Amino acid sequence: MQFLILGSAAGGGLPQWNCLCENCRLAYRRDGRLTARTQCSVAVSADGENWVVLSATPDLRQQIISNPELHPKCAPRHSPIKAVFAPNGDIDNIAGLLVMREMQPFALFATRSVMAHTEGGVFGVLNADLVQRRPIALDESVDTGLGFTITAFATPGKIPLYMESRNEAEIELGAEGESTVGLEIRDGDRRFYYIPSCARMTDALRKRLEGAEILFFDGTTFEDDEMIRQGLSPKTAWRMGHMAMNGERGSVRTLADVDIGQRIFVHINNSNPALRHDSAERRQVEAAGWRIGHDGLRIDTAEARS
Ligand code: MLT
Ligand code: MN
Ligand code: ZN
């Protein structure tokens, strides 16, 4: 199996258009202490020729141009992207569909509730004769027809930001349903996971991840309240439907005893100090066995095993 990180940042990217936090400042200056990042997406392929894109971000056009695997291979019209899987309805997971409007066939997989966000309005631009919408049920294994299956399973999360009630008390945080899912990619007995949004660790998720070959996991913040502390937003990671890396309930600690081949953070918010190569936070997560995902990171499991 081949995995290609198209984008490793959370919504907004690094740098973010309206942000001058410490990391965005360095990224605008092209300072070597960190590298710029597009919004979170991973492409997966069994044969290196046909790819499924997990999360269609607003940066998709740039991501395709930056990665030769996804360039058209034959004239006049072609794309190696055969399918898109949207694990939630946030802008950074579906807006990229608008980049794929130029009359190219592909399949769109999403749960029914996420699919509903991609129907109507501007999304009507996707030609229904070419774009095959395939609503999927939770825990239903879908054969992509490309040599691997994908199964969506609920992870604690919330509805998309733009669907939230203005009444804070009405917003259900940590809800487990169709709104936010993790994706299990299976090739025979081998399992790989893409989980860009997870508000908290659960015993069920820990059990599921046991024995995974690769985990791409929600690395939104280092500390739950870092956006508040940096004066960027009044929201904690939990309030945004995400998990912090650090702390008693953070991903590093709660997954420490789970047997996982490679653990890689993606969906990393621009506020996260672990993005800086020279930070103590970076050293800490790497010492715990995690990698900080970056755009263009490629993993070929055949090479890894030989
Ligand atoms: C998130 O992960 O919290 C979302 O990307 C928010 C958004 O859609 O901007
Ligand atoms: Mn996001
Ligand atoms: Zn920033």
Give the start-to-end residue ranges of the domains of the chain.
2-305
Is there an atom of ligand 1 within 6 Å of 10 CB?
yes
| Residue 130 in tokens | 């070419």
Query: Of ligand 1's atoms, which has the minimum distance to the CA of residue 160?
Result: 8
Is there an atom of ligand 1 within 6 Å of 11 CB?
yes
pLDDT, tens digit only, all 306 positions of the chain:
999 999 999 999 999 999 999 999 999 999 999 999 999 999 999 999 999 999 999 999 999 999 999 999 999 999 999 999 999 999 999 999 999 999 999 999 999 999 999 999 999 999 999 999 999 999 999 999 999 999 999 999 999 999 999 999 999 999 999 999 999 999 999 999 999 999 999 999 999 999 999 999 999 999 999 999 999 999 999 999 999 999 999 999 999 999 999 999 999 999 999 999 999 999 999 999 999 999 999 999 998 665
pLDDT of residue 190: 98
The radius of gyration of the chain's CA atoms, rounded to the nearest angstrom, is 18
pTM above 0.75, yes or no: yes
Amino acid at 226: E
Other Cβ atoms within 10 Å of 19 Cβ, number: 19
pLDDT of residue 304: 65
Amino acid at 151: T
CA dihedral sign, ordered 203, 248, 90, 300: negative
Buried b (16+ CB within 10 A) or exposed e, 240-279: bbbbbbbeeebbbebbeebebebbbbbbbbbbbbbbbeeb
What's the gap in Å between 222 CA and the centre of ligand 3?
A: 14
In contact, 108 and 134? CB cutoff 8 Å: yes
Query: Three-state SS across the chain?
Result: CEEEEEECECCCCECCCCCCCHHHHHHHCCCCCCCCECECEEEEECCCCCEEEECCCCCHHHHHHHCHHHCCCCCCCCCCEEEEECCECCHHHHHHHHHHCCCCCEEEEEEHHHHHHCCCHHHHHCCCCCEEEEEECCCCEEECCCCCEEEEEECCECCCHHHCCCCHHHCCCCECCCCEEEEEEEECCEEEEEECCCCCCCHHHHHHHCCEEEEEEECCECCCCHHHHCCCCCCCCHHHCCCECCCCCCHHHHCCCCCEEEEEEECECCCCHHHCCCCHHHHHHHHCCEEECCCCCEEEHHHHHC
Is there an atom of ligand 1 within 6 Å of 92 CB?
yes
What's the gap in Å between 11 CA and the centre of ligand 2?
A: 4
Is there an atom of ligand 1 within 6 Å of 240 CB?
yes
Fold adopted by 2-305: Metallo-beta-lactamase; Chain A (3.60.15)
Residue nearest to atom 9 of ligand 1 (CA): 11
| Integer Cα distance of 25 and 14 in angstroms | 10
Nearest to 302 by CA among 82, 129, 147, 158: 147
